[in-house]
Structure 1
Amino acid sequence: MIRVVLTCLLAVAIAGVVFPAADAARADATTVTIGSMADDIAHAATALATAEDPTPAGVAGARRHVVLDVPTGSWRAAGVSELAVRGGDGVELSADIAAGPTVVRRVGGPRIRVVGDRLVLGPGEHRLRLTLEADAGGSVVVLAPAAADPPAA
């Protein structure tokens, strides 16, 4: 009987040590994923800005598409309840992680303007469209959801 009680106590003690470490590892994996998504957007924006010429507003210009897979939560990664995308000189991603703090990743690059000033994405897969345009400040990469693409004529 004493062996059973000691075995149960040992199992509870081990679980008390392992579960917080597993949660921390899941949050770390999500942080890495957010950083990779920011890198992907910045890389596509840089490739677009260096290889193409900007077009005036209202004229269809060069485009790139990026697919973001916002973590929904699993045994491998913590879930993200909301991912905010902001522009500027490069891109900034801000993710509210369900089991931890808000993660912010900034990656430099060309000037980026997000449609609506800030794009908020929920968990799941999202396709974004990057378009190179010209404005008063020079060339700018405009970031918008790809669902906003007009149908082809």
Structure 2
Amino acid sequence: MLRTALAVLVGAALLGLSLPVVDDARVGHADSQVRTELDTLETAAERLHSESDPVAAGTPGARIERTVVLPTRSWGTAGLDRLRIPARTNERIRWQVAGGQVQTRHTNPPLVAPPDGLKLRERGRIRLTLSLERRGGAVVVVVSRADV
């Protein structure tokens, strides 16, 4: 009886020690997944920028579509809490996964959203359109939802 109680106590202590490590790994995996998807968008933006000419905002021009896969909550991955692509070039892309800290990133060429901004809270596969535009003398890649 005493051995059983000690085994349960030791097991509970080990579980209690391991859970924070598992949570840190889940958050790290989700952050890494978001970074990978932003790398994909940045590579597509670089290609669009190098192969096309920018047009004035609101004018149809060069565009491509890409699908990003944002982290969903699972045993091994924390889910995405939010991802925000700013409308202005002087701001950075920001995201946060559940249980993690706010992360930021600058891209080149700048990835910006339409004037009302772009906030993603969904998880899983999201289809986005990237279009090359000239805004205020700067060449930017505008990221918007493909279904809009």
The TM-score, its normalising length taken from structure 1, stands at 0.83
Contact 1:65–1:127 (CA<8 Å) still a contact in 2? yes
C-alpha deviations, 1:4-36, integer Å up to 9, x for none? 011101110110111111001001101111211
CA contact (8 A) 1:70 1:80 kept: yes
Contact 1:42 1:107 in 2 (8 A): no
2:118 is equivalent to residue 119 of structure 1: yes
Structure 2 contact 85–112 (Cα < 8 Å) conserved: no
* Aligned residue in 2 for 1:55: 55
Question: Please, which runs of 5 or more residues in structure 2 have no aligned partner?
Answer: none
CA distance, structure 1, for counterparts of residue 147 and residue 32 of structure 2: 27
SS in 1 for 2:43: helix
Paired AA for residue 88 in structure 1: T
Residue range with higher mean Cα deviation, 115-124 or 56-65: 56-65
Aligned equivalents of 2:40, 2:53: Cα separation in 1: 21
Moved more, 42-51 or 61-70: 61-70
- Which moved further from structure 2: 120-129 or 132-141? 132-141
Q: Is the 8 A contact 1:69 1:126 kept in 2?
A: yes
Counterpart residue type for residue 36 of structure 1: T
Say how many residue pairs are matched.
146
Gaps of 5+ in 1: 149-153
Q: Hey, what's the Cα distance between the residues in 2 that align with 1:136 and 1:95? A: 26
Q: Which residue of 2 aligns with 1:19?
A: 19
Match of 1:108 in 2: 107
- Contact 1:127–1:147 (8 Å) recurs in 2: yes
SS at 1:99 equivalent: coil
Aligned CA RMSD, in angstroms, stands at: 2.1
Q: Give, in angstroms, the shift of residue 88 of structure 1.
A: 2.0
